[in-house]
Structure 1
Amino acid sequence: MTPPQEGENIHDLTEGRLDLALRASNEGIWDWWTDKNEIYYSRRILEFLECGDKRAPNFFTPPHKTVHKDDRDRFMAALANALDPGGPELFSIDCRVHTGSDGWRWLRIRGTVVRNRLGQATRIAGSMIDISRRKSAEAQIDEERHQLRLLIDHVPLQVYFKDTKSRFVLANKRMAEWNNVANVDEITGKHDRDFFASEHWEAAARDEQEIMATGNSITGKLEHEVREGRSSTWVLTSKFPWFDRKGKIKGTFGVSSDVTELVEAQHKAANLASELAERNQVYEEEVQLAREIQQALARSHFPSIFTSDQQLQFGARYQPTSGLAGDFFEIVRISDEVCGLLICDVMGHGVRSALVVAMLRGLMEKQRRSASDPSAYLSGLNNGLSSILERAEATMFATAFYAVVDLNEGTIHYACAGHPGAIVSGSKGVYQIAARKDERGPGLGLIPKAGFPAQEIPLDQVKRLLLFTDGLIEAENEAGDEFLESGLIKAIEDRTGEPLEEMLDGVITTVLAHAEGHHFGDDVCLLGMEVGKA
């Protein structure tokens, strides 16, 4: 220590050094004799209070109005404790004090209590420091913490921090509710084993140890939570390493979201898909059986129709676009010399049209007695189908062409139900019959008791007769042009010298060459008949 210079007072020197030290620490000193209203404040305290020495209030004496009302009770309690004969030797309080500029300033007040022999406080002296900035910062931090806590507690997620032994250090309200406890304090210090069965908590603990060992996060992991005596739940969890400011591992933290309903819905959907797959397999097997029956009927053997000098030869082509088709043909054997040729096209495709086909085949059996009369035969099919569809409240229909070939009489009688007329190839060339509207009746199933006019041509003018469905003539090329009846007539003309089977194949080939993509857009059915010598 530097000794005092000549003329310097040691007391003044000490007081000056104390004042410098207090200024450096932003503190001021005060001294109050408890039996007096006056109080001594150093210049620094007067600066805090923003007033002069004569206006400075003694806020240690009642009624303490210069102390903020929110701090007043604490201040009075601390002061009363210090003045009590059995009280502490130190007086300590942080409070807001009114200033000369009509503001409030936070002061940290500390004092030493001097007592007489009876323990009564006679004097309290100490220091004051302005802590307004720190209090303001603390208030801001507290508000931010409050806001953060509000966010954490109200997000629809389970949020938590765990120490290195996987014990909960902090959790939000959602986590408390998830674990069926009243508040978050009941979670602190506990382990997952306190809430979950071993198959879950052991796996969770292994994950957390790995995170702490490697520093790598685990995100978006689906976890199956199993609890004793409670239904299991599913959560989507992300966990991360928890480091302190110096980079030292403190544990883990994570978030989990409840996805139980979603997972259960997925399980139900998977079970439903499996059930539907099984049902679909059964359905496919049934459809396959129906398909095989349809194809077997289309490949059935043709009846022998002949006289002593003539016989009929038949050929057919059947190309459905789907598993079940609405096109079919039938050759009805009426006698050795007489047969009926029927071709039919049911509206649509698939199961509905296949059902109507099955109905028509059943109705055909009922109409065998009228099979030699085309008009009566189609009328019977129409009335039967109309009655069924009306009872079923279904809108369906079918078109048909039916011809009766009689070798004895040498005639072909025919009637049409909204279907394209057959193509005749013979002595008068190649042409279409039932081409006019007045030669056709309505489609089957549309109008009960409708009429179907019958026409007749001599058999000696006919070499071949070709019945077909509209999938053949409606085939479109890339420009959208249909093949039409005119194209079919030309294809037949080009092949009049070929055998019946080759002609049928040639017609199919010609139409496919015309069609865009070289495939049919609708079911195709061809039935050919040729008159030959016995």
Structure 2
Amino acid sequence: MPAMAYRVDDRLELALRASNEGIWDWDITTDEIHYSGRILRFLGYRRDEVPHLFHHFEMVHDSDRDEYVEKLKQVLRPGGVDLFAVEPRMRTAKDEWRCFRIRGVVVRDAEGHALRMAGSMIDITARKEAEAQLLDERHLIRLLIDNVPLNIYFKDRESRFTLVNQSQAKWLGVGSEEDLIGKTDHDFFEPEHADRALQDEQQILATGKPILGYVERETLVTGEDAWVLTTKMPLFDRKGQIIGTFGVSNDVTELVRTQRSLAETAAALQRRNDEIEEELKLAREVQQALLPTRYPAIPQGSGEKTRLVFGHRYIPISGLAGDFFEVFPVGSRAAGMLICDVMGHGVRSAIVVSMLRGLAERAETEEDLAGDPAAFLDRLNEGLCSILQQAGVTMFATAFYVVVDLDGGELRYASAGHPAGIIRGEEGASVLPLGGRGSGPALGLFPDAQYEHARYPLSAVKQLLLFTDGIFEVQNQRGEEFLQNRLAELVGTADGDDIDTLLDEVLERVLAFAESERFDDDVCLLAMEVREE
């Protein structure tokens, strides 16, 4: 062989070695086939035992065999194709399946019969495995984006759709994802919305910064308005270059509508609440206005050396309280003192307070009735029971009523489930004894309830304190209640001689016990002093 031919063969061998390909040469007329050493290494055979690639089809994988045989027939057929190109899986001598790319060119005679075919062969198993892995990953990604309840899309730098999921296609009203490819928002939305979306995407391309979680309004192809929660991100290639954008949006129309409905409802409730507050404010003002601001002069007339002095402290914890009191004359030389505590707080209690106040005002006009504490409470109970029964409402109120009688020189008093008052005299302070059957039932519970009154000499009384339970049910930090006996001790040891000082000291010392700045229940204190001029 000439030197030039050797040089050409050397170059061919070097080129094939660099490309990792082997060569084969099949003389079809003699059926002899020659393999390069690289092909032998690919297949794992020695030269004297390597099978014929174009006869031993059992080497080819079942899934690839039909295509392999068919393409071989096409090149061997007279006048057939000249290029043989397949990528079958083939069994090696080690009983392993490897994937090969086989290429060959046919040499024909003048009639088109195949005389010879030569070509190359290379192991592409690694590439095929990588391609299969890539296809699997793409399938998983596609499976994911098509099954999440979100609209997902990818766009190029011209804001044209390059990939979308089924949800996005359905949202835009097209038949399939492919119908969106190459189109823009201007093909589906009003110009105003499409221009705004384009501006956002151009900003992302320019800055590389995402736009996260904003709610935007869209008009659907059906003409309906919808709201979506959108996030748009820059799309980077493997080299870190921005090649487009991608976004995720979620239909939040129902949420927005619900929020708007709730906002409208909240506004309506606020308006109604404001109206109720105005009504309650008026009710508070009326209730406060009904409290005594001036007390009756007892005894009436001038020249008397002994007179009665009254004072009170009224602390409601809410706008409308259930505590109230009355001081009224019983004749010219006696006074009636009534204190009540209606169950609960708020409007219901305030209504019952108004009922009792009306009943008391009617009863106090009858001097004989007002002068008899038991009869007075009987009248209040009968009237309240009648009203509550007609209304079908269960409510009650405790009450303590005392008549300070200068002519009789005594206190006459009765209780309807209410704590007895505390008297203060020369010997100290004590709780008024109820005697008899003690306290009667609360007002409003039993129409036929009977009340009894007790008496106490006025000469032993310097001051009298009536109160509701809010003053002695106060608890300290250890959970201990102040209680009525401690209140009696406080009254007995108080520094002030006049009732205003007494009332203020009681409030101050009870709050000090509770280590608090306010009471947890309505508090009403009503005091009387027998003052000698």
Paired residue for 1:358? 354
SS of aligned partner of 1:242: strand
Structure 2 stretches of 5 or more lacking a match? none
**Letter in structure 2 aligned against 1:257:** N
Q: 1:127 to 1:378 in 2, by over 3 A?
A: same
Q: 1:74 to 1:363 in 2, by over 3 A?
A: farther
Give, in angstroms, the shift of residue 533 of structure 1: 8.3
**CA–CA distance in structure 2, aligned partners of residues 127 and 460 of structure 1:** 135
**CA–CA distance in structure 1, aligned partners of residues 329 and 371 of structure 2:** 10
Q: Does 1:423 align with 2:422?
A: yes
**1:401-449: CA deviations, max 9, x gaps?**
0123455655542210121212335687654323569421122234453
Does the CA-based 8 Å contact 2:472-2:481 persist in structure 1? no
Give, in angstroms, the shift of residue 40 of structure 1: 3.3
**Letter in structure 2 aligned against 1:76:** V
**CA–CA distance in structure 1, aligned partners of residues 512 and 27 of structure 2:** 122
**CA–CA distance in structure 1, aligned partners of residues 496 and 165 of structure 2:** 91
**Letter in structure 1 aligned against 2:515:** E
Paired residue for 2:399? 400
Give, in angstroms, the shift of residue 293 of structure 1: 1.4
Q: Does 1:327 align with 2:320?
A: no
1:192 to 172, 175, 185: 185
Q: Does 1:245 align with 2:238?
A: yes
Q: 1:79 to 1:333 in 2, by over 3 A?
A: farther
SS of aligned partner of 2:175: coil
Q: 1:377 to 1:54 in 2, by over 3 A?
A: same
Does the CA-based 8 Å contact 2:385-2:445 persist in structure 1? yes
Give, in angstroms, the shift of residue 333 of structure 1: 4.9
Paired residue for 1:414? 413
Paired residue for 1:346? 342
**1:450-506: CA deviations, max 9, x gaps?**
3322113355655544322233334456664627445446536756753x5455445
Larger deviation: 483-492 or 249-258?
Answer: 483-492
Paired residue for 1:173? 166
**CA–CA distance in structure 2, aligned partners of residues 307 and 332 of structure 1:** 12
Q: Percent identity, please.
A: 50
Give, in angstroms, the shift of residue 111 of structure 1: 1.4
Paired residue for 2:449? 450
Give, in angstroms, the shift of residue 277 of structure 1: 1.5
**Letter in structure 2 aligned against 1:32:** W
**CA–CA distance in structure 2, aligned partners of residues 485 and 51 of structure 1:** 113
2:26 to 18, 26, 32: 32
Q: Does 1:48 align with 2:42?
A: yes
Paired residue for 1:482? 482
Give, in angstroms, the shift of residue 334 of structure 1: 5.2
Paired residue for 1:161? 154
**CA–CA distance in structure 1, aligned partners of residues 460 and 314 of structure 2:** 27
**Letter in structure 2 aligned against 1:402:** Y
Does the CA-based 8 Å contact 1:317-1:525 persist in structure 2? yes
**CA–CA distance in structure 1, aligned partners of residues 43 and 30 of structure 2:** 20
SS of aligned partner of 1:457: strand
Paired residue for 2:83? 90
Paired residue for 1:374? 373
Q: 1:203 to 1:434 in 2, by over 3 A?
A: farther
SS of aligned partner of 1:439: coil
**CA–CA distance in structure 2, aligned partners of residues 371 and 36 of structure 1:** 143
Larger deviation: 50-59 or 218-227?
Answer: 50-59
Q: Does 1:314 align with 2:307?
A: no
Query: Once superposed, what is the RMSD of the aligned Cα atoms?
Result: 3.5
**Letter in structure 1 aligned against 2:82:** E
Q: Which residues of 2 match residues 197-212 of structure 1 at below 5 A?
A: 197-212=190-205
**Letter in structure 2 aligned against 1:375:** A
Paired residue for 1:22? 16
Give, in angstroms, the shift of residue 59 of structure 1: 4.2
Q: Which residues of 2 match residues 69-84 of structure 1 at below 5 A?
A: 69-84=62-77
**Letter in structure 2 aligned against 1:326:** G
Structure 1 stretches of 5 or more lacking a match? none
Paired residue for 2:515? 516
